[in-house]
Structure 1
């Protein structure tokens, strides 16, 4: 068999595994969580970590490429981790509810979703960044909009349940001297209504995240353009999604933090080095885009952003500073000290 055939066969196998993860992990639940025996040989493990189990609420896990890679490429297994993903978690509200009800031990949320919960006293700590942001603001080429400040008094549409996207762009607008609550007219729409509303001038800009925004940009690039997003500036190297862990679980499983963070870092590094293969993994899920368009999207996004330790708490402190900018936390609050309290330190 040729190398090419072997590679193709391996990819097909991984794709099959990828799309079976949701159903498989749902079955792992109960008994699998309690009676876990690592199947890989000690030679395949890294640093001989003892077998450990964890349940994670990971929104939209069935289409998450980083999670699929960590599973199918064996990165969790190499660190002797038995990771159970809660089924049917579609958004941050469901993930946080699961964490609060002790239905899971950890959750993956946007930093913009984590902070209000942590500031409100949720007993959890942040361990590792999962990925960078992929927020985009698109405007019509017909409009005389060249800068964010040109949006003053205009309408910006968001899709429903897009609080973090609106919060992100509120921060950008506030930096430019606009009051996002007073100077912008926010409109909520269904996802399929966004582009028609923009092209008909019902709204002057639309916001969201990938893959939706990249799909719109790819298919209507002669009519719309990206005015701002998280791919440049200080946000380009900052984590958006972060994995945080329940304090009670941490107290009884303190040794799981290092292997879990490192397994995610290794999976992220693999993805960065195999974007072509990652695009093929996503092709069956993102049916509205070709694998070529998906690859272009991945290349445009900021890859391998998985901060831990000092890098993580510094980024969390930046988020807290931006919450101050919007008046969501008092200026007297120490961003640095608070971020250190929220974040875990591990030996890497």
Structure 2
């Protein structure tokens, strides 16, 4: 599956290929909330959303738009990457009042350092939750951080771009070539190592992964030091557009069997789930509603993301969002299946320990906060 940034701006958003988000009622857990430590006022705040109608995309009601909480909002800190459009569900949920309608007062912590530090910040209470890339988080989670994955958010923000002027336009052309990356543990390297390995290109012997500063990736191609690059939107989208045909999209993380695979996930502090499960439930639901709004109104999402300093014109951001999958947010058994699949695939490229049981690992790192 490939996309042309010069034409995709007019495309309609991707329709959901399957309705994998289980129909948990928005009122589920009300009894639990009422008896939680926060008392009935907190329970009322976190459960303002009506359950009278459930649209095709479950859990994505706007939490009783216009309804105001009746008590104090629960403050939370959410770690995110303000430069990554794949996290747009968070600012959309904040700016459209979804968090507040779920009884939450969410502050953002813009985390640009290592994933290990981000997960440690969540595990130790410096942040309560975060949104990040599954292929970035699974290896650190294997080390035992007290962070649980509660939902997938969206799919399709990683792109592998080839130098068309050098004849690199498909996977087989990459043999003997250099791929520019910003980080040897990046989601782009991890995913496309898997993608190449599954298609007969040895990611260790047949290609060289060469690290550059993020903004220098296209420059490495211009200088002839690399013949491909792997990274994420919004940069990859902008680079392919600005290259005026020099760069071409070889693959994305929606290509072929990955079309319904979530790449970004919600991680919540384990102690928050254990001690204040209703809060973790409300936060997960609110982010999922924000994610649905991104898919339903990409222009709103683009303008919101841009307001937080996101790169790209509004038209380009809308086109990016339309090329991604913001209609498929897996939870429950579906998400655990995806996490187990990623685990097996990461073993294939020597990121996850070979002895790791993928099913047990998925069970260990996932927490169901959406059912009673």
Aligned with 1:130 (options 153, 177, 181): 153
Task: Verify the 8 A CA contact 1:59 1:95 in the aligned structure 2.
Answer: no
- 1:41 deviation in Å? 8.6
Aligned with 2:196 (options 144, 159, 173): 173
Task: Verify the 8 A CA contact 2:179 2:226 in the aligned structure 1.
Answer: yes
Pair 1:69-2:92 in alignment: yes
Task: Verify the 8 A CA contact 2:155 2:261 in the aligned structure 1.
Answer: yes
Pair 1:256-2:279 in alignment: yes
CA distance in 2, matches of 1:57, 1:203: 33
**CA-atom RMSD, angstroms?**
3.0
- 1:68 deviation in Å? 1.3
Task: Verify the 8 A CA contact 2:179 2:228 in the aligned structure 1.
Answer: yes
- 1:84 deviation in Å? 3.1
Pair 1:323-2:346 in alignment: yes
Aligned residue pairs: how many?
A: 311
CA distance in 2, matches of 1:294, 1:128: 24
- 1:205 deviation in Å? 0.6
CA separation of 1:219 and 1:93: change in aligned 2, threshold 3 A: same
CA separation of 1:61 and 1:103: change in aligned 2, threshold 3 A: farther
Task: Verify the 8 A CA contact 1:53 1:83 in the aligned structure 2.
Answer: yes
Task: Verify the 8 A CA contact 2:293 2:301 in the aligned structure 1.
Answer: no
- 1:304-343 alignment, distance < 5 Å: 304-343=327-366
Structure number having the greater helix percentage:
1
Relative contact order higher in (CA < 8 Å, ≥ 6 apart) = 2
CA distance in 2, matches of 1:195, 1:305: 31
CA separation of 1:138 and 1:49: change in aligned 2, threshold 3 A: farther
Q: TM-score, normalised by structure 1?
A: 0.79
Task: Verify the 8 A CA contact 1:157 1:206 in the aligned structure 2.
Answer: yes
Deviations 1:196-241 (A, max 9, x none): 3313422111111111100011111421110111132232322212
Q: TM-score, normalised by structure 2?
A: 0.74
> What residue in structure 2 maps to residue 113 of structure 1?
136
Aligned with 2:299 (options 267, 273, 276): 276
Aligned with 1:59 (options 75, 81, 99): 81
- 1:257 deviation in Å? 3.1
SS of match in other structure, 1:328: coil
SS of match in other structure, 1:145: coil
SS of match in other structure, 1:60: coil
Larger mean Cα displacement after TM superposition, 312-321 or 235-244: 235-244
CA separation of 1:138 and 1:60: change in aligned 2, threshold 3 A: same
> What residue in structure 1 maps to residue 254 of structure 2?
231
Task: Verify the 8 A CA contact 1:58 1:95 in the aligned structure 2.
Answer: no
Deviations 1:110-138 (A, max 9, x none): 11122112211222211111222311111
Pair 1:89-2:116 in alignment: no
Pair 1:302-2:336 in alignment: no
Deviations 1:126-184 (A, max 9, x none): 11112223111111122233431321221111124762211111111111223212221
CA distance in 2, matches of 1:287, 1:240: 19
Pair 1:198-2:225 in alignment: no
Pair 1:150-2:173 in alignment: yes
Task: Verify the 8 A CA contact 1:46 1:79 in the aligned structure 2.
Answer: no
CA distance in 2, matches of 1:180, 1:42: 47
- 1:206-217 alignment, distance < 5 Å: 206-217=229-240
SS of match in other structure, 2:153: strand
SS of match in other structure, 2:211: strand
> What residue in structure 2 maps to residue 243 of structure 1?
266
CA distance in 2, matches of 1:217, 1:252: 47
- 1:261 deviation in Å? 1.9
SS of match in other structure, 1:239: coil
- 1:46 deviation in Å? 4.4
CA distance in 1, matches of 2:239, 2:105: 38
